[in-house]
Amino acid sequence: MTDFSGLRESMVVHQVAARGVRSENVLNAMRAVPRELFVPNKLAQFAYEDSPLSIAAGQTISQPYIVAFMIEALDLRGGEKVLEIGAGSGYAAAVLAEIAGDVYTIEYIEELAKSAASILAELGYDNVQVLHGDGTLGWEEHAPYDGIVVTAGGPEVPESLQQQLKIGGRMIIPIGESRNFQELIRVTRVSETRFKSEDLASVRFVPLVGAQGWPA
């Protein structure tokens, strides 16, 4: 039997904390979520390796460090309302749900949206709602959000997502002129009309497809 709890703790210590993630909220959330349940069964033994893994529909689950880094950059204190674009396997939504009060996550691929909703429900994450739709348009019904995290790379920051951000809220999003390479940026809404942008890291994500992203 694989000792997933031991592998999970090792991941937090050696891949996440050792690289500079300091938020106790994030570290504890990473300790709490069983990542092995969010990957295909045949890859469960590799769930805590320092790399992305393939999931259904030609998509990937990000490496653990990137998930932790992006969530820490949101600077969540607990109890916030967060929007995630790109539910994928549902793993990052589960990590967010350990910290935030309410998590709304949108997935463009119906197969992934259904599987993510199923596993999140099975694990008891009743503070997460999953929507199959165009994430570049956001989820206006529940706006504004304290934080928005986008797990796919777009050519520019979608205007819809900016407008759904609460004043003082932060959005973490990969942006780049190429579909394959991006700069991870943090956008902070300063006022109704002003936004501040900071570069965080060079990254590589799958393309953000939608009306305000890349064409399908």
Segments making up each domain of the chain, as ranges: 4-203
When the candidates are 3.40.50.150, 2.140.10.10, 3.40.50.300, 3.10.520.10, the CATH number that belongs to 4-203 is: 3.40.50.150
Q: Which residues participate in catalysis according to the annotation?
A: 62
Interior CA angle at 118 toward 111 and 44, to 5°?
85
Q: Which residue in this structure is represented by tokens 């959005």? A: 171
3-class secondary structure for the chain?
CCCHHHHHHHHHHHHHHHHCCCCHHHHHHHHHCCHHHHCCHHHHHHCCCCCCEECHHHCEECCHHHHHHHHHHCCCCCCCEEEEECCCCCHHHHHHHCCCCEEEEEECCHHHHHHHHHHHHHCCCCCEEEEECCHHHCCHHHCCEEEEEECCEECCCCHHHHHCEEEEEEEEEEECCCCCCEEEEEEEECCCCCEEEEEEEEECCCECECCCCECC
pLDDT at 1: 72
Q: Are strands 195-203 and 145-150 parallel, antiparallel or unpaired?
A: unpaired
Calpha distance 203→150 (Å, rounded): 13
Summarised one tens digit per residue, pLDDT across range 114-128 is 999 999 999 999 999
**pLDDT given at position 120:** 98
pLDDT tens digit string along 57-99? 989 999 999 999 999 999 999 999 999 999 999 999 999 999 9
The whole-number pLDDT of residue 2 equals 81
Q: Which among 168, 8, 146 is positioned nearest to 84, based on CA atoms?
A: 146
**Contact in structure between 189 and 161 (CB atoms under 8 Å):** no
Q: How far is CA 87 from CA 9, 38, 95, 120, in A?
A: 24, 11, 12, 11
Amino acid 49: pLDDT: 95
Spatial contact of 74 and 198, defined as CB atoms under 8 Å apart: no
Regions of the chain where pLDDT drops below 70: none
B/e letters for 54-77, b = 16+ CB within 10 Å, e = fewer, are ebeeebbbbbbbbbbbbbbbbbbe
Return the pLDDT at 216: 85
Residue carrying the six token digits 């709490």:
32
The dihedral built from the CA positions of residue 142, 175, 195 and 20, taken in this order, carries a sign that is: positive
